[in-house]
Structure 1
Amino acid sequence: MPHERSSAGAGPAPVPGGAALLEVDNVTLRFGGVTALDGVSFTIRQGEIFGLIGPNGAGKTTCFNAMTGIYRPTDGEIRFTGKRVTGLRKYEITSMGIARTFQNIRLFPEMTALENVMVGADAHHKTSVLGALFRLPRHRREEAQGREKSLRLLEFVGIRHRAGHVARNLSYGEQRRLEIARALATDPKLLCLDEPAAGFNPAEKEDLLQLIRRVRDTGVTVLLIEHDMRLVMGVTDRIAVLEFGRKIAEGTPAEVRDDPKVIAAYLGVPADAA
């Protein structure tokens, strides 16, 4: 990992040794008189695990939502593989290769685990409405392929044995894993995880850390929002830190951990005191 200087400058950080995948360029987001994001810039490169951290209310999930089409930035631009994402609909962003999970789990509770993942697999199916209605050969073929793919993903996240169980009957940790499997079913280039370890015990967090690494090893880039600093420092390649909607630091885990501005933000003390 090339050494990078911690920076909170206006433009995206340099990206040595890898192509830029997602670029957040001077993004500002206002809700009425409230500025939720203020000129935030960072770049995520292909094949890395990138962390986005900060105290409660720092703007992490808001930034996530701007990247995935839930919010439209007031100013600035977001680019994915060099193409403008700003202003696109959520399904258009998904089709480009960005998938996400949510801080509050969003599954179809009355559907089985397998059916939930197959919903994600359907994102790239070409069958028409009439083809699905009359179960034409193409629809049956895509359905069989989607089922096989979904079972592989359930195996990958460690819950294939729960494939036939209704989602609401799964444990909390299994539901978290199911949501990751469903996101992976859309064949993302970038997987965005919003607080995936929330509510986990230490053993579950360690298992999640290993799963995130395995996801990256398949060639999927990962963006991680997480409060657990031990997990973030243990799994990420680089980190950007937000406070009150502004980026205050960016760099390797070691650089960010020792940055006085970051310590001050988390401890609630002036930077010079930290």
Structure 2
Amino acid sequence: MAETPPLDPAPAGEALLSMNEVTLRFGGVTALDAVDFHIDRGEILGLIGPNGAGKTTAFNVMTGIYQPTQGTVTFDGEVTSGMKRYRIAKRGIARTFQNIRLFKAMTAFENVMVGADAQHSTGPIAALLGLPRYRREEAAGREIAHELLDFVGVRGRADELAGNLSYGDQRRLEIARAMATRPKLLCLDEPAAGFNPSEKQALMELIRSIRDRGLTVLLIEHDMRLVMGAVDRLVVLEFGRKIADGTPAGVQNDPAVIAAYLGVDEDEVEEEVDDAS
């Protein structure tokens, strides 16, 4: 079976998505406060922060679940804030969720076909009439679904109901379904939740392989070992504000980041660092 071709590599350092001074308020609560960062084409960006920092909220703004109170989101050169969710997805953003959202009464193969069908240009009438263009798209979708199931490691369970798969296989299946939409940006929200150490190592390798196929990856993850081993750059949020943006090594040693995770004042961290040096 022919392998699904990778996406064309994009120029390094060119922004694919930008959050431009995005603020989101729910009544009197500010969930995001003038958040400003970008995701370069072809990179793996980690979005981290303590619980309640605004990470998933930022995901939801990018994908159109929430509309920003102020600021804009730009994706692939086009302002997408204000667009319907399905239009944003069509433009090339796919995501997974903290809580797995598979069609559990459908097989693993059928779940991935749902993702592939999302990019079809033909509609229900063409399907009912069995028009040639629909048959070509359906055949291509089946080939993509089989190849992606193999890619994420669940090809042998393609005909099993998604609800009967192990937790780890369901996580990988959700990634395959998102990839079947042929996105430019794949957003992974806590993909390692519930994984054991060997599964996390395999996931780290899978994320790198996804990037090697030409996708840009945005990763939210609490496991710092996985994050540090997988990402090219980190953005850190705390209480809805960006407090750091840089390489994993640089962010790891940032006093503001250490203070956010340890729950101490930043000045105390800087004093400890000065005393140790």
What code does the residue aligned with 2:143 have? E
Residue 79 of structure 1: aligned partner: 74
Cα offset, 1:88, TM superposition: 0.7
Question: d(CA) in 2 for partners of 1:59 and 1:18?
Answer: 25
Question: d(CA) in 1 for partners of 2:218 and 2:125?
Answer: 38
Equivalent of 1:88 in 76, 83, 92:
83
Residue 121 of structure 1: aligned partner: 116
Cα offset, 1:144, TM superposition: 1.4
1:229 aligns with 2:244: no
Question: d(CA) in 1 for partners of 2:132 and 2:35?
Answer: 49
1:132 aligns with 2:127: yes
Question: d(CA) in 1 for partners of 2:137 and 2:227?
Answer: 38
What code does the residue aligned with 1:169 have? N
TM-score by length of 1: 0.93
What code does the residue aligned with 1:197 have? A
CA contact (8 A) 2:12 2:42 kept: no
Cα offset, 1:17, TM superposition: 5.1
What code does the residue aligned with 2:110 have? E
Question: d(CA) in 1 for partners of 2:123 and 2:56?
Answer: 35
Question: d(CA) in 2 for partners of 1:124 and 1:179?
Answer: 17
**Mapping of 1:180-219 within 5 angstroms?**
180-219=175-214
Question: d(CA) in 1 for partners of 2:64 and 2:130?
Answer: 33
Number of matched pairs: 259
Report the 3-state secondary structure (helix = DSSP H, G, I; strand = E; otherwise coil) of the residue aligned with 2:267. coil
What code does the residue aligned with 1:256 have? V
Question: d(CA) in 2 for partners of 1:101 and 1:217?
Answer: 19
Report the 3-state secondary structure (helix = DSSP H, G, I; strand = E; otherwise coil) of the residue aligned with 2:148. helix
Residue 149 of structure 2: aligned partner: 154
Residue 251 of structure 1: aligned partner: 246
Cα offset, 1:138, TM superposition: 2.2
Give structure 1 regions of 4+ aligned residues with deviation exceeding 4 angstroms: none
Structure 1, unaligned runs of 5 or more: 1-15
Q: What is the CA RMSD across the aligned residues, in angstroms?
A: 1.0
Once the two structures are superposed, residues 200-222 of structure 1 have per-residue CA deviations (whole angstroms, 9 ceiling, x without a partner) of 00000000000000000011000
Structure 2, unaligned runs of 5 or more: 1-10, 270-277
